[in-house]
Amino acid sequence: MGIYSIPEDFRLLGENIKYSLSKYDDRYWREHDRKGDFPDEFYSELARNGFFSLNVPEEYGGVGQGLRAVSFVIKEVSRSCGMSAGDLIMATCVFGVQTIKSFASKELKQKLLPELAEGKHIVSFAITEPDAGVNTPEIKTYAEKSGKGFVINGRKIWTTLAHRASLLFVLARTKQLSKVEKKTDGLTVFLVEKEKAVGSLSISRIEDISMRPLGSCEVVFENLYVPEENIIGKIDRAWEVLPTVLNAERISTASIGVGLGELLVMKAAEYARVRKTFSRPIGSNQGIQFPLARAFSQLQAAWAVTQKAAWEFDSSMDCATDANVAAYMASKAAFFAADRAMQTFGGMAYAVDSDIERHWRDSRLLRTGPIPEEMVLSFIGQRVLALPRSY
């Protein structure tokens, strides 16, 4: 089976997605975007259809697939329902399942993996801070040893789903930056189980314009106690955890971008076939047709790199370069597709009921987060091309 071929079980997954999620139409997502409401019915539907069990090992009640299967499902769900829908798969299967099965204790695996497979948890990962941004080693959130655990104090921002999550992963310093040899040392990943939280955990939603059904939040920790058994990986060694999680995230966001881009190209092409001016379909004009063909081509190229990166991840190979390239290509391709859809629909694109403006807002996020495209280019320049550091 080649890297780029689609296994039969993936095809069946695709058919299941189209059938089971068809009821969650544009109107459903439009209303949830307008109100900023979490799509509870949709999340339950994903759980009932077993999508959260994809990469859960069989011994914990899952299907036992790898990231390539998750990536495929994310793309197809995004293609059917949009960006927020695909991001929900990523939150559970990547931030939740992948992190726990790769780095958590046996006890946490036995307890949480079966529950994640059944969709009993919503997952969030708190890394970004107001004064650090993508310069992760500069974070200020600190966890101090206290008895058989740690007490966390600090502040996170742009933490997606934090207000709804029952499981919240938190990156904190366990050694001050001034006391470590390498900037990436002295960082630890903790798992906060909200129902058991002792101390103050304050979460406030940010009024934003992208992925509004999911929501991003500011999170403040004040003397929040986390038992040491909830450490993910090793103390002070978060950098052994983060590359795996963040590479999987980049592959997943690339999959979201490709799926969203395909949705927009298909919507634009359908409109261009039926919308007539000067007594002919606007799709007969090269000014409309060629950019849509270009968008389709860019998405196909991005998907090829995404599949390669997912295959490398599942094969325990170094996938960092391809994961970053996939995220970069997919974000650019998705936004180009969205922008051309806006241009194809013309004035109608600005009507909320067209749904094009919503997808355009969502697609722009991919060029900024989870990693800005400039940081991807810096990574390639420095790590691949051996050029001097540019920042």
Burial group, residue 148, by CB count within 10 angstroms (0-12, 13-18, 19+): exposed
211 lies in the same domain as 284? no
Q: Which residues pair with 155 in a beta bridge?
A: 220
- Examine residue 246 and state whether it is found in any structural domain, yes or no: yes
261 lies in the same domain as 346? yes
117 lies in the same domain as 231? no
Residue after which a domain boundary falls, among 122, 154, 189: 122
CA separation, residue 234 to residues 123, 138, 391 (Å): 21, 19, 30
What length is written for the chain? 391
CA separation, residue 288 to residues 270, 294, 324, 354 (Å): 12, 10, 31, 18
192 lies in the same domain as 298? no
Q: What is the CATH number of the domain that holds 20?
A: 1.10.540.10
pTM score, whole prediction = 0.96
Instruction: Name the residue with tokens 């295959």.
Output: 311
Tens-binned pLDDT, residue by residue, of the chain (391 aa): 567 667 778 888 888 898 899 999 999 999 999 999 999 999 999 999 999 999 999 999 999 999 999 999 999 999 999 999 999 999 999 999 999 999 999 999 999 999 999 999 999 999 999 999 899 999 999 999 999 999 999 999 999 999 999 999 999 999 999 999 999 999 999 999 999 999 999 999 999 999 999 999 999 999 999 999 999 999 999 999 999 999 999 999 999 999 999 999 999 999 999 999 999 999 999 999 999 999 999 999 999 999 999 999 999 999 999 999 999 999 999 999 999 999 999 999 999 999 999 999 999 999 999 999 999 999 999 999 999 999 8
30 lies in the same domain as 90? yes
Residues whose CB is less than 8 angstroms from the CB of residue 233 and which lie 6 or more positions away in sequence, other chains included: 103, 188, 189, 240, 241
355 lies in the same domain as 251? yes
56 lies in the same domain as 140? no
Domain span at residue 93?
Answer: 8-122
Helix (H, G, I), strand (E, B) or coil at 167: strand
How distant is the alpha carbon of residue 71 from its chain centre? Answer: 10
Residue after which a domain boundary falls, among 92, 122, 152: 122
